[in-house]
């Protein structure tokens, strides 16, 4: 059988890269739980019609169909393209068992059938947090999810050396109110076009606004002036007012966004800015929207995004409004790993290899390993009773820093890196604390 070719858009990590990924996921979990979010995992598939309600995403959905199904049978299930839509279904299905406001985090794979490119994959891992309530969700949760997400990303920076981030925030009510104040009948089309500003530039956006959206040149110019407002404080509100547009929804959006920016500036100064071109492409967002960039990686796009949604979860009688943010773990890690910017100190969790004198003494080596494992020390037993030099080289190739020689009594430990060797007891020997687990650092 010939060597298989990799599938584009489905990244797979080596063991040392997985150590980096697991270190990232561990810190995300710990941060989310520190803020009172409980873990949820949903199924991988949802009915196609429910996925389609999440917005203009038909081209992104992978349909699921049995190979033995009749040719005329249509696929009625699809792989989820994000974690928000399945979470909304989960809330509706289990609302009778949940306590509201309900706070959840979810770390899972998602799938999108789009063209693979840098930062975009067909299978990838996301880490989400959401807060939902019944009937009405308090406005303060909009800034809360932003602060929690920034805390998680700051921890990745502090603990693992990942680059810092900058979160950009806007509010759909602000933009939609502004557009309605300009007598634009369909703000949704304008939002989608303006959301492309960073990708295609102002001239192309103006052409789309006057062409596809049917705006006048004056309306298009006003939309662009709004989209180009970007401030690190509440001064964006004054700049919006200078544009001279009036609408109740615009005023509400300005008020809510100012609250988010004002609160964030107290707790994470310099990490969140008001950027009025942020719109988010999915239809279900109704209020605050967020996008987060990795500083120094402008071409990567947003590595964390989300927003407020009012009616994504509704059974016709009760609505469950929510707000949430998603961290694209795979999008964040792949370029850093590919460039060698972040690495693990070793490729295996093993701290020490127990050498085997001969196959007759393997039971003794296993007994030593068990003593060490009981004390939380990751241990392997040598696969072959080779000459000790070969066993040391095997440990070195595996990235294992120590080798144990001897039995339960009279044992010795060798540091493969320095060559130092000395007596040791399996009930008391312990490596330095920082060597118990592989560490991750920025290169």
Cα 391 to Cα 44, 240, 424: the distances in Å are 44, 70, 19
Q: How many CA atoms lie within 13 A of 342 on its CB side?
A: 23
As a 3-state breakdown, the chain gives helix, strand, coil percent values, each rounded to 5, of 40, 20, 40
User: Tokens for 53?
Assistant: 């309600």
Task: Tell whether 126 is in a known binding site.
Answer: yes
H helices present in 243-360, as ranges: 248-267, 329-338
Q: How many CA atoms lie within 13 A of 238 on its CB side?
A: 5
Q: Tokens 């959401």 belong to which residue? A: 130
Q: Tokens 């440990």 belong to which residue? A: 395
CA distance 392 to 328: 40
CA distance 179 to 249: 10
Task: Tell whether 90 is in a known binding site.
Answer: no
The rounded Cα 96 to chain-centroid distance in angstroms is 29
Task: Tell whether 284 is in a known binding site.
Answer: yes
CA distance 346 to 55: 43
Task: Tell whether 375 is in a known binding site.
Answer: no
Q: Tokens 């196959």 belong to which residue? A: 359
Task: Tell whether 219 is in a known binding site.
Answer: no
CB 181 within 8 A of CB 245: yes
CB 312 within 8 A of CB 85: yes
Task: Tell whether 231 is in a known binding site.
Answer: no
Task: Tell whether 285 is in a known binding site.
Answer: yes
Q: What are phi and psi of 106, to 5 degrees?
A: -150, 125
Helix (H) or strand (E) holding 127: strand 123-132
| β-bridge pairing 322-328 and 421-424 | unpaired
The Cβ of residue 282 has, within 10 Å, a number of other Cβ atoms equal to: 21
Question: Is the four-CA dihedral 301, 304, 310, 316 of positive or negative sign?
Answer: positive
CA distance 261 to 66: 49
CB 413 within 8 A of CB 406: no
Number of H helices, E strands in the chain: 13, 19
User: Tokens for 376?
Assistant: 């939380």
Task: Tell whether 84 is in a known binding site.
Answer: yes
Report the binding-site residues for L-histidine. 82-84, 112, 126, 130, 280, 284-285
Query: Binding site: which residues?
Result: 82-84, 112, 126, 130, 280, 284-285
């Amino acid at each position: 059988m010939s060597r298989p070719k990799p599938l584009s858009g489905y990244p797979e990590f080596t063991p040392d890269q997985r150590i980096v990924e697991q270190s990232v996921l561990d810190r995300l979990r710990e941060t989310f739980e520190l803020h009172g979010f409980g873990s949820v995992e949903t199924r991988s598939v949802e009915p196609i019609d429910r996925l389609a309600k999440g917005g203009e995403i038909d081209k992104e959905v992978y349909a699921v169909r049995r190979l033995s199904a009749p040719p005329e049978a249509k696929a009625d299930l699809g792989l989820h393209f994000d974690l928000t839509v399945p979470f909304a279904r989960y809330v509706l299905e289990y609302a009778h068992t949940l306590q509201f406001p309900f706070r959840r985090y979810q770390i899972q794979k998602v799938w999108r059938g789009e063209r693979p490119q840098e930062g975009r994959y067909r299978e990838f891992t996301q880490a989400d947090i959401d807060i939902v309530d019944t009937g009405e969700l308090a406005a303060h949760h909009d800034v809360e999810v932003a602060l929690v997400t920034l805390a998680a990303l700051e921890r990745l920076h502090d603990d693992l050396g990942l680059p810092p981030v900058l979160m950009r925030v806007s509010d759909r009510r602000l933009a939609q109110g502004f557009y309605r104040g300009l007598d634009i009948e369909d703000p949704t089309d304008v939002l989608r076009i303006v959301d492309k500003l960073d990708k295609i530039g102002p001239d192309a956006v103006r052409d789309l606004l006057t062409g596809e959206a049917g705006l006048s040149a004056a309306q298009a110019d006003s939309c662009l002036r709004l989209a180009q407002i970007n401030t690190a404080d509440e001064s964006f509100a004054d700049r919006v007012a200078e544009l001279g547009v009036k609408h109740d929804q615009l005023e509400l959006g300005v008020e809510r966004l100012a609250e988010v920016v004002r609160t964030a500036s107290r707790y994470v100064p310099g990490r969140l800015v008001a950027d009025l071109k942020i719109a988010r492409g999915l239809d279900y967002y109704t209020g605050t929207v967020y996008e987060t960039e990795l500083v120094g990686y402008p071409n990567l796009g947003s590595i964390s995004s989300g927003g407020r949604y009012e009616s994504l979860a509704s059974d016709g009688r009760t609505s469950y409004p929510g707000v949430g943010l998603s961290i694209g773990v795979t999008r964040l890690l792949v370029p850093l790993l590919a460039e060698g910017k972040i690495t693990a100190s070793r490729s295996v969790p093993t701290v020490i290899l127990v050498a085997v004198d001969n196959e007759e003494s393997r039971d003794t080596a296993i007994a030593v390993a068990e003593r060490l494992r009981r004390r939380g020390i990751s241990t392997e037993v040598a696969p072959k009773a080779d000459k000790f030099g070969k066993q040391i080289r095997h440990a070195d190739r595996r990235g294992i820093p120590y080798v144990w020689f001897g039995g339960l009594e009279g044992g010795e430990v060798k540091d493969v890196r320095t060559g130092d060797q000395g007596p040791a007891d399996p009930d008391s020997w312990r490596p330095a604390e920082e060597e118990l687990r592989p560490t991750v650092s920025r290169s």
